[in-house]
Structure 1
């Protein structure tokens, strides 16, 4: 087995507000599921992300709330970190720029080095300027029509079609703060011309598996000419540029995100599998690979992309404060129910819609189907076997067929969990099927409890169910680690057993399961 860790990256959240369930439905819970599966399989894996500390949305939030940008970034960065932990998302590396020694100098040195070797060049281009606010406009400080698809777009990149823009080529640009039509003024900034990396990028795209929407985007970018991406802006928030002549500017957050990737992946020999929303596709498919290829570093080996998660008909947005906040959902439903729900609705290939009623139904599935089967199993074991696992081979009416079906289910779960065919929606459906089959088996064999004298068949049905419970603890751990951990420990097992048929065996005879006093899954 290889000892080289499999690298997984997830887009860095922007600390301009709290974490919302759209974030969880996008990169974060899904990336954590894959990390847990690989870890349970005994494969070395590392999941990394960071906090997008210097995004223009942080500056916009500070301006609208009358606060300092540092205060906004630090406060929301901390709450995002805590909420990810509450949701069971575990990072091996979570880069926090404000706390990382040498971070600023790393970003500055990279930009200076790329300018010195001609990869980054100076260009004089039109840039929107707001006269009433006396401010240059870029990123989320400016809005207008996308020059490619016409949809309403932020500066730098369009959320709808993921194509980059240079802010100055937006249609009818407006200042987001005051709504005034922007003036276009010429300004000299630093750019990274991607066309110089065309052949290397085309080879990379051809060799990397990707969803049709991503491959189509790559074709469109190649057809229309690869963009020159601004990597500095006149601003007062961000990492200071140290290239001579541009000291009054700040590093663009997209370039900074690529620099942060280089920092977290330093010394690695294999590329990362990237989890990101479609609106981040240009950074992940073009800007980052171009830098990695130029520097001789490993390029991404695959992409897991999600579409928007909508609420009340509109995509969730931190900046517009239109969202269901993760903390509220976690408090109401718990991490098991919320993770199960956002994975079952994961917006892949199409946007999906969140409702509180459907989240409640997901919680009810755990409370009314998963937990009752387990509660009845442990209660029967306590009442009929003094709480100890009986010395009986698994059996009962329908056990052979159930065992065969669950063996197949283990293989199907592996297919749903593995990177090449990752589909957590399918994994949730398979886990629900395991519980449904176990419940039917329990009900069919319940009359054995009343058979006079001979307890062997009753005990065989109990050990069969205990075998299914052990398997469920292992197989559900990537999706619902909180409840799966409680179930594994109740059965005397460590959490995170392999997703194989191996756990489909009962605990040793005489083992005394110790179920918690409360629910196993959800609460």
Structure 2
């Protein structure tokens, strides 16, 4: 006889609850399930998670709410609940007593596969989405490193959502009030407003040239009502008991008579020793106070920093730590951001200064200006609120660089809680790290860069977008060599799709310029049609903000084109046999269908070529991404001129069409 007894002293902490092994196949040979005793402490929520297993809770004692997906129900002693495979679940115990259970779990792969089939990726996409990108700082132009981060990847998602019939809007702008704009103006001997306007206009033009469509642009220095709206929100922040006015020693340049913060401060991070500006380290993601940097100097004149006392408004971030932790726990966060946020929360959040001794930015009543990052966070909340008021509620996804994680995953939520605007926080974060040029970061100051405008003029938007999405720095630093940056049109997918589409010319001539209806089907035809639908679902899964991968998408799209080209080549012999005319019609109909599918799947990546392909097939509007692919109507007219490279693109690619 094998026995087990519920024993709190034998429990270990896992899934944010107490667990104790009960019985499993290691105890009883052939036992088809595993089991554990579990206990969720009072006023505790277990970890939200899912398994491929089926699971059953048998309640021993206490009362708590069990959440499965969108369902939630209170359970008590003697009750049983079944949790389906891949169903996200948690236990919320708001009572004063532990919630004790027995969990029995078992693996049944057919049930797990069936559960996945009932949850296709497309069904998990919101009907309305706001896709935000941090507004670029208008202190210079955009290089390929900038574009490779959030901007093209966010546009990829927006286009894909729209092609599925979802309402998606792209929100970004220019971060006009950044200290980097003021520093650039000092170094150039001009006014910050002039820098923000000129460089901001150039940035917007570059984004548009890259095919990035912005539905809402926040341009603070060009918006006469911006300061008033932000001051109103800031007054809510300062009403929080977590905000205090204190005089603290602050980094200072006596030569320039300048308070050293952010762009004006240059030194090395006290945590990781990497070169660092004030208030944030791009290398390790930790915040700092500029005065704590080692080897601190003034960026303007190079003088070693002194300190002086400055009055300031300080926000106790740690007062909101539990709310931030709960918020991030309920949000979809990329692994690198999640790891950084957990580390920062565990170490204790430092206080943050909300105002600066500066003349550039939103002026405050005390003669100071609003901190640029606080301004940026409040601008985000203001834009999200306005979008909701004008267009209705939407799921917010934020694409951002890992170096901005502290500001968007910590400071932004705290300010949202303080202003009462937490409903406008991102539901999902999609991060990127850095694209390096060779072995070093892109650097404007050192001239180590490939400018986006130059690359777009030389290779065109499709080739630039494709190269940057293929090399997207998702979860890691990626690299592009100067040689590769100069040959963007030589990408294997970019060239392969031209060869494949060019191959439609003889098909079109042979069919009299008409797409036939299907006839008799072979096994190969059936499996190719199955592949078109399955490949679409696989690519849909890479568009979920929770699993977004531009690199994976490009890789699978390249495989898709190769599969379509292979089908077209192997079917060529069949189309020459008179007795197989009925099968040939199906073969041709599938070939043209594959071009239609390609246009829809490629539109987020290479919008110009995808649109030309869609137009060539006689289809109206912009590419539409169907859940289950319908054939082109029999008799659809197509020309023998395949939708390959335009004359300009052919010239960029060395004259090959």
Following TM superposition, by how much is the alpha carbon of 1:366 offset from its aligned partner in structure 2, in angstroms?
Answer: 4.5
Aligned-partner Cα distance in 2 for 1:364–1:320 = 28
Answering whether residue 337 of structure 2 is matched by residue 214 of structure 1, we say: yes
* 2:466 is the counterpart of 1:340: yes
The residue that corresponds to 2:442 in the other structure is 316
Secondary structure in 2 matching 1:240? coil
Aligned partners of 1:394, 1:367: CA distance in 2, in Å? 34
Structure 1 residue 447 displacement after superposition: 3.3
1:367 and 1:426 mapped to 2: Cα distance? 16
Q: Is structure 2 residue 403 aligned with structure 1 residue 284?
A: no
- Structure with bigger strand share is 2
Question: Do structure 1's residue 263 and structure 2's residue 263 form an aligned pair?
Answer: no
Does residue 213 of structure 2 align to residue 90 of structure 1? yes
Give me the CA root mean square deviation: 2.5
Provide TM-score, normalisation by structure 1: 0.92
* Residue from 482, 492, 495 that aligns with 1:368: 495
Q: Using the alignment, how far apart are the partners of 1:300 and 1:367 within structure 2? A: 34
Distance in 2 (CA, whole Å) between partners of 1:109 and 1:164 is: 26
User: Is residue 486–residue 516 contact of structure 1 (8 Å, CA) maintained in 2?
Assistant: no
Q: Which has the higher contact order (CA 8 A, sep 6+)?
A: 1
Match of 1:52 in 2: 175
Asked if 2 retains the 8 angstrom alpha-carbon contact of 1:389 and 1:512, the reply is yes
> Could you tell me which residue of structure 2 aligns to residue 482 of structure 1?
608
Aligned equivalents of 1:9 and 1:53: distance in 2? 17
Give the Cα–Cα distance (whole angstroms) in 1 for the partners of residues 399 and 195 of structure 2: 26
Matched residue of 2:290: which SS?
A: coil
User: For 1:514 and 1:226, how far apart are their aligned partners in 2?
Assistant: 64
Query: What's 2:322 paired with?
Result: 199
Give the match for residue 194 of structure 2: 71
Q: Partner of 1:253 in structure 2?
A: 372
Uncovered stretches (5+) of structure 2, i.e. residues with no partner: 1-122, 651-657
Query: So what's the TM-score if we normalise by structure 2?
Result: 0.74
Change (3 A) 1:160 1:8: same
Q: Does structure 1 conserve the Cα–Cα contact (< 8 Å) formed by 2:472 and 2:551?
A: yes
Deviates further, 513-522 or 434-443 = 513-522
Change (3 A) 1:231 1:26: same
Question: Which residue does the alignment assign to 2:568?
Answer: 442
Q: State the distance in 1 between where 2:352 and 2:359 align.
A: 20
**Which aligned pairs between 1:139-178 and structure 2 lie closer than 5 A?**
139-178=262-301
Larger Rg: 2
Question: How far off is 1:517 after superposition?
Answer: 7.3
Correspondence 1:490-501 to 2 at 5 A: 490-493=616-619, 494-501=621-628
Deviation of 1:303 (Å) = 0.8
C-alpha displacement at 1:410, in angstroms? 1.2
Superimposed CA distance per residue, residues 187-237 of structure 1 (whole angstroms, 9 cap, x where no aligned partner): 112222212212211221222232332222222222322121112111122
The alpha-carbon deviation at position 356 of structure 1 amounts to 4.2
Give SS of 2:142's match: coil
- Asked whether the equivalents of residues 513 and 639 of structure 2 are also in contact (C-alpha less than 8 Å), the reply is yes
Cα distance between partner residues in 1 of 2:576 and 2:532: 27
Query: For residues 169-199 of structure 1, what are the alpha-carbon distances to aligned partners after superposition, in whole Å with 9 as ceiling and x for unaligned?
Result: 2222111122211111111122222122122
For structure 1, the residue ranges without an aligned partner over 5 or more in a row are none
Kept after mapping to 1: 8 A contact 2:333/2:546: no
Cα deviation for residue 373 of structure 1 reads 1.5
Whether 2:589 is the aligned partner of 1:473: answer no
Deviation per CA, 1:20-40: give whole Å up to 9, x if none: 111221111111111122222
Matching residue within 179, 182, 187 for 2:302: 179
SS at match of 2:500: helix
Deviation at 1:464, TM superposition (A): 1.8
Over 3 Å counting, the alpha-carbon distance change for 1:257 and 1:401 in structure 2 is same
* 1:376-423 Cα deviation digits (max 9, x unpaired): 20x224422332223444857832332222222111111112223211
Q: Secondary structure at the match of 1:266?
A: helix
Change (3 A) 1:366 1:223: closer
Structure 1 position 417 matched with structure 2 position 529: no
SS at match of 2:466: helix
More helix as a share of residues: 1
Q: Does 1:231 align with 2:366?
A: no
Alpha-carbon deviation of 1:103? Answer: 0.4
Query: 2:632 aligns to what?
Result: 506
Which residue pairs with 2:90 in the alignment? none
Conserved in 2, the CA contact under 8 Å of 1:486 and 1:520?
A: no
SS at match of 2:443: coil
Q: State how 1:91-110 maps to structure 2 within 5 Å.
A: 91-110=214-233
